[in-house]
Chains A and B, each alone.
Chain A
Amino acid sequence: MASEFSYPDSAAKAAAGAQAAPAEFQTEKMSLSMGPSHPSTHGVLRLQMELDGEILTKADPVVGYLHRGDEKIAENMTYNQFVPYTDRLDYLAPLANNMAYAIAVERLAKLEVPARCQAIRVLTAEMARISAHLMGLGAFALDVGAWSVLLYALEEREKLYKLFEELTGARFTTSYTRIGGVTRDVPEGWLARTNAFCDQFLPILEEMLKLLTRNKIFMDRTVGVGVISKADALAYGLTGPNLRGSGVGLDLRKDKPYSGYEQYEFDVPVGTKGDCYDRYLVRGEEMRQSVRIIRQVIGKFPDGPWYATDAKRIFAPPKDKVMSSMEELIQNFMIVTEGPQIPAGEVYFEAENPKGILGFFIVSKGGGVPYRLKIRSPSFCNLSILPKVCVGNLISDVVSILGSLDFVMGECDR
């Protein structure tokens, strides 16, 4: 066990020492704000801390600096028009958000998309997972002092972005799904290029992880730091790699498969201790598993239509038809102006996103505009554990903990 390096012990020792000190050495507590503009808070999180020397006695996350009112915005536009807004939830994995949102609305409409569309979505979601975890690990390593990992991560992510750019037309804000399908089919030769990416990615991933996994400095900063117990993880509603780092094997791709995930074989890595190091290990392993899934998807990539061809009132007709036939022209006009026609009802759908479980609760009164749309964002729930997990740690460990939780404020504040 590498526990001899763990800091909470020394933090606890220091705390006990402070308690035991004679009265004339007792100092006042200090409050300190970390963020909303701080390099290690990854965006606009503000942590209102109370410090006793270097040890945190209180930590209050203050969120909302990036609030845009996405849920209200959704009530004022058609289902399709909201897709670009989902890009901006977890902006490190827009493709996964696009997919989760589209499936939620399709569940409400009881619409089944064809196998090819499902495969495209799974493929893009797993690629998004890799790109999000790369960024998560790179930033985490940077926070604890390892520069090169971020450079590896950015280089690989760039290759993924090139593929996204080719598929969707944009690197970052992909807006790729539409209700009942996706905006375009995969281009010629794209699958082969994705496969080639996987082939060269695995050795580089190993090289990148090798910089950290057995690195004493990295282990000193992460092993035994920010331990979240199984019970706490569940009680605070943690999801995704943070929950799995604490040893709970909840993965919706396995437990409640959607979009054909049941056809693919992959492992759900879980941690044993629930510390920052475990959360790091889980993300590293998940990237390997994502590559496995991507290869399986490409291996049995289905033919056929890539959007729901029979959903005449939901998915707009192909452009050729709109240009040449009156009926399709009107159909296009109706779907654009009135929105995809979704029956009245309620739905809650959640998907396993890179950061955790992203849920959409949609109430429809019929028609093309949601009556109410609620987003359950994983980062928001994951951050709720901060007051619990930060207290008693050294201030420099807070940086490790924040990095290991890998949140994104675009989604937390939405």
Chain B
Amino acid sequence: MATGTPLERKPLTFAERTYVPQILSGLKTTWQHLVRPKETLEYPEQRPAIPPGYRGVPTLVKDPHGREKCVSCQLCEFVCPPKAIRITPGEIAPDAPTGHVEKAPKEFEIDMLRCIYCGMCQEVCPEEAIFLQNQFSMTGYTREEMVNNKARLYELGGTLPDDHFKWDKKLEAEKHGNAH
């Protein structure tokens, strides 16, 4: 066991026991604080700055061409610790422009009464389709209102830049006859 450093305890002096020095130094501190900059924020008129990488409300995003990115692999649904996500997978018609992606979610619901903003869905998503963005306050009057459906998730998410265009590359490769 490490030997600790004993902490010093000095008895109060007579002056300290009268409590007068404390009152005076207390007043001094109070005056100093009157001129110090204010630390509080008048929420909601003033809003705090949100740093990049903040874990706010999870949303679904589209790629810069406005195409759906989620392929309903259901990995986020699986990993979500409080089971807030519910996905109904759907098919994309083969003759659609993104037909080679084959799958997209028919319905995608995130129950914001269950979500704990842990960010695991974003972490595991292999398509970079789900992101926790800046919004931090969600309110509603009913339980139903607090469940974000697919349309609402896309509305909240908007479009984010894409570094990969994974499926375009795949289509390119398939055209040249070397899938994978």
- The answer to whether A and B assemble together is yes
Binding site for B on A (CB under 8 A): 1-2, 77, 80-85, 155, 158, 162, 165-166, 168-170, 173, 175, 183-184, 187, 207, 210-211, 214-217, 219, 244, 247-251, 254-255, 267-273, 277-278, 281-282, 285, 316, 319-320, 322-324, 326, 329, 332-333, 336-337
CB of B164 within 8 A of CB of A216, answer: no
Looking at B12-20, B99-107, B139-147, B150-158, the stretch in contact with chain A turns out to be B12-20
Chain A binding surface, main DSSP class: helix
Give every chain B residue within 8 A of A207 (Cβ-Cβ).
Answer: 29
Specify the chain B residue showing the minimal Cβ separation from A210.
B25
Give every chain A residue within 8 A of B2 (Cβ-Cβ).
Answer: 249-251, 254-255, 268
Say whether, besides A84-B81, A170-B55, A216-B22, A250 and B1 are in contact (CB < 8 Å).
yes
CB of A336 within 8 A of CB of B124, answer: yes
Tell me which of B5, B7, B53 contacts A169 (CB under 8 A). B53
Give every chain A residue within 8 A of B163 (Cβ-Cβ).
Answer: 320, 323
B87 at the interface (CB under 8 A from A): no
The 8 A-B pairs at the shortest CB distance, nearest first, are namely A249-B4, A270-B4, A169-B55, A254-B2, A166-B51, A268-B4, A84-B118, A267-B5
CB of B7 within 8 A of CB of A282, answer: yes
Give every chain A residue within 8 A of B127 (Cβ-Cβ).
Answer: 323
Known contacts A215-B22, A337-B78, then 14 further A-B pairs from the complex at CB < 8 Å, ordered by chain A residue: A2-B11, A81-B120, A83-B118, A165-B51, A168-B55, A170-B55, A175-B120, A184-B53, A211-B29, A216-B12, A244-B4, A250-B2, A271-B7, A319-B128
B90 at the interface (CB under 8 A from A): no
Say whether, besides A2-B11, A249-B2, A277-B9, A323 and B16 are in contact (CB < 8 Å).
no
**13 A-B contacts, Cβ less than 8 Å apart?**
A1-B11, A81-B120, A165-B54, A166-B53, A169-B119, A169-B132, A173-B116, A187-B51, A214-B12, A215-B22, A216-B17, A255-B2, A278-B9
Specify the chain A residue showing the minimal Cβ separation from B19.
A216
Give every chain A residue within 8 A of B123 (Cβ-Cβ).
Answer: 183, 316
